[in-house]
Amino acid sequence: MENHYLWAYYFPMKKGEFDNEYYFYENGKILHVYDKSKTKVNIEEFVSASDISEHERQQIINACPDEFKERIIKMLTIDHEHLA
């Protein structure tokens, strides 16, 4: 069975900035897709909540639709990582 993502957050791009996106999966995993440079693009890596800055976590939570908010907050709670 394929694992689908619940929701994705795309940080707003400003002129000259690189992509920075997070995908939140049903199984609790978080995929970070980003560009490191003009030649190193669409890098994908699974990350934990502690890999995401507090500022970015708050932006993600603020943008999250109500239907996913509780699950996304749990995924972004650093204490949650110790429970897994």
pLDDT at 31 over 60: yes
Query: What does the domain layout of the chain look like in residue ranges?
Result: 5-81
What token pair was written down for 15?
A: 């002129």
DSSP, collapsed to helix, strand or coil, labels residue 50 as helix
Contact yes or no for 75/8 (Cβ under 8 A): no
Q: What is the mean pLDDT of the chain?
A: 90
pTM of full prediction above 0.75: yes
Q: What number is the average pLDDT over the span 69-73?
A: 97
* Whole-angstrom Cα Rg for the chain: 13
Contact 78, 49 (CB under 8 A): yes
Whether 27 has a pLDDT exceeding 50, the answer reads: yes
